[in-house]
Amino acid sequence: MAVLASTAILIVGALTARLSRTEPGQGQATANGTVASIAGSDTSTAPGAIPHIRRTLVLSGANDLADALMTSGIARAEAEAAAAAARPSLQPGGEIRAVLTLTKADGATTLDRLEASNPDSSGVVVSPTARGVFVASPVAAQLSSKIVVRRGTMDADSFYSSAVAAGVTDSLIPEFAKALAFDFDFQREVRSGDAFEAAFSQPVDSAGNPVGAPTLLYAALSTATKSAAVYSFAPDGKKSEWFDGSGRSIIRALMRTPVDGARVSSTFGMRVHPVLGFMKMHKGTDFAAPIGTPIYAAGNGTVTWSGMKGPNGNLVIIRHDNGWLTYYLHQNRILPQITVGARVMQGQQIGEIGTTGRSTGPHLHYEVHINDVPVDSMSIKTEAGQTLSGAALIAFGKARDRIDVSRAGQAS
């Protein structure tokens, strides 16, 4: 209600400013030029009544509040006390709107009420008690959310630049890639001209302005050979997971690639070893990327090795729940919690790309062993995830349909 009152005061004050008398200091800025009076009006019209004045100010930040109050005629001690009460509820950066209710009596100005709001419409109401102490009542933001859809095609540079050019918020791009990591190898299968689509939920304030970070709801990618689309849904009401349109989880035994943004520098099979100089079986796939690039566990499992191991450099070995083993070689750094016996989850960071051991440059050498035999990680097929059922499937269908309606309504 306080925020609604602030809005009403601002509108009425602006319309009646020319009809009401102007108080000393109205329309003036503080010494640093950060305060501007928008409107002021005398709200007491009865003969002999003590005049109450409402004034709306725009401040460049919460730190300017005390000066703004003093500019309006409030004594320094009172202004600083009111500002101190309001400050915990005000955001440190961004514009602040302050509506003051003042009383003029016996040549002095006192503060009856302060309503201050942040850019997201949250804020605080500050009022004095009978003992002269200011109390603050926080006001929650009046936020809603809207679904935003962005579509684009891959350019010749990278998925990141393609997504940004299409209007996808950059913070969503890693999540988009992970959502489709079980279906696509972004380093080898995605080409210029391939089409992608993202839908995300964006919190907005009462004026429709974006507030806070968006949340990815839908990710789709179509190449020359295949297409995939996934939806975010929280079956337990707590943690969101990715499902295809039928409600089947995208989770597989292993992710296709355990590192984002890398290029495949060497594939599985026989090759001339770059250091030893003779033909040798290359038992894994090499992903080249800058030192420090995160490496992720390809699936749920238990760490069976963590540390230096000769030409392998810093090595992590994970035994997965289905008995398969994955090897992560040449790491620059293994995270401290990745120790033998530790339980890791799919997509959890385990280390960073490096060039330790017998290595000619920063890369991850990644191996998959099935029944203790190394296999080509890029060609193995992994079992499908579980499918929702019952009430969870019904709830998923409603969430999916809501996203699809928004996608259809924003079709280009």
Residue of 144, 348, 330 lying closest to 255 (CA atoms): 348
Q: Are residues 166 and 224 in the same domain?
A: yes
Residue 213 has pLDDT above 90, yes or no: no
Coil/strand/helix, residue 87 = helix
The pLDDT assigned to 25 comes to 39
Strand positions, DSSP E, 234-293: 241-243, 263-266, 269-272, 279-282, 285-288
Could you tell me if residue 258 is inside a domain? Answer: no
42 and 100 assigned to the same domain: yes
d(CA 234, CA 240): 4
User: Can you give the CATH number for the domain in which 398 is found?
Assistant: 3.10.450.350
Domain co-membership, 187 together with 212: yes
Predicted confidence (pLDDT) per residue in 53-110, tens digit: 888 888 888 888 999 899 989 999 999 999 899 999 888 877 888 898 988 888 888 8
| 167, pLDDT greater than 60 | yes
The last residue of a domain, from among 104, 139, 174: 139
Q: Given strand 144-153, what is the order of strands in its sheet?
A: 144-153, 195-204, 215-222, 227-233, 241-243
pLDDT digits (tens, 9 = 90+) for 3-39: 333 333 333 333 333 333 334 334 443 333 344 444 4
> Which range has the worst mean pLDDT, 136-145, 193-202, 269-278?
269-278
Look up residue 69 and give its two tokens. 């109050």
| pTM value > 0.85 | no
More reliable by pLDDT, 123 or 342:
342
Are residue 26 and residue 152 in the same domain, yes or no?
no
Q: Quote the domain boundaries for residue 62.
A: 2-139
Cα 27 to Cα 162: distance, rounded to the nearest angstrom = 48
Q: Which of 342, 344, 302 is nearest to 325 (CA)?
A: 302
**Does residue 208 have a pLDDT over 70?**
yes
Q: 104 or 52: which carries more pLDDT confidence?
A: 104
Asked whether residue 116 falls in the same domain as residue 7, the answer is yes
Residues 245 and 175 in one domain: yes
Comparing CA positions, the residue from 203, 204, 199, 235 lying closest to residue 217 is 199
Confidence band (pLDDT; 50, 70, 90) for 216? very high
pLDDT score of 334: 96
Task: Show the tokens assigned to 369.
Answer: 């062993």
A 10 A CB-CB count for 2 gives: 17
What tokens appear for 392 in the block? 């969870």
Length of the chain: 412
Q: Are residues 271 and 242 in the same domain?
A: no
Query: Which residue, among 94, 45, 90, 98, has the nearest Cα to 74 in the 3D structure?
Result: 98
Which residues touch 132 (CB under 8 Å, ≥6 apart)?
none
User: Are 206 and 334 contained in the same domain?
Assistant: no
What CATH number is attached to the domain comprising 347?
Answer: 2.70.70.10
Mean pLDDT over each residue of the chain, to the nearest integer: 80
pLDDT higher than threshold 50 for residue 314? yes
Q: Is residue 257 part of a domain?
A: no
> Looking only at Cα atoms, what is the longest distance across the chain?
104
Q: Which one is predicted more confidently, 384 or 203?
A: 203
- What's the pLDDT score for residue 352? 94
Q: Which of 139, 162, 186 is the last residue of a domain?
A: 139
Instruction: Tell me whether residue 392 is in a domain.
Output: yes
**One-character DSSP codes across 320-371:** ETTS-EEEEEEEEEE-TT--TT-EE-TT-EEEEEB--SS-SSSEEEEEEEET
- Strand 134-139 relative to strand 263-266: parallel, antiparallel, unpaired? unpaired
* Same domain, residue pair 207 and 295: no
d(CA 106, CA 122): 35
Full strand arrangement of the beta sheet holding 52-59: 35-42, 52-59, 96-105, 108-117, 123-128, 134-139
Q: What is the pLDDT of residues 350-388, one digit of tens each?
A: 999 999 998 888 989 999 998 888 888 777 766 666 788
Name which of 6-10, 300-304, 325-329, 377-381 the model is least confident about.
Answer: 6-10
- Inside any domain, residue 167: yes
For position 118, what pLDDT does the model report? 85
Exposed, middle or buried by CB within 10 Å (0-12, 13-18, 19+), for 336? exposed
CA distances for 184 relative to 57, 215, 259, angstroms: 54, 22, 13
Q: Are residues 247 and 395 in the same domain?
A: yes
pLDDT digits (tens, 9 = 90+) for 381-394: 666 667 888 999 99
Q: Within a domain: residue 382?
A: no
Q: How many CB atoms lie within 10 A of CB 96?
A: 25
In a domain, 177, yes or no: yes
| Residues 118, 59: Cα–Cα separation, whole Å | 10
Considering 117, 139, 161, which residue would you say is the last residue of a domain? Answer: 139
Q: Under DSSP, is residue 78 helix (H, G, I), strand (E, B) or coil?
A: helix
Mean per-residue pLDDT, 219-245:
88
The full DSSP string for 309-327 is: -GGG-EEEEEEETTS-EEE
pLDDT at 189 over 50: yes
Give the total number of structural domains in the chain: 3
Domain co-membership, 84 together with 228: no
Is the same domain home to 352 and 336?
Answer: yes
Tokens 């503080």 belong to 30
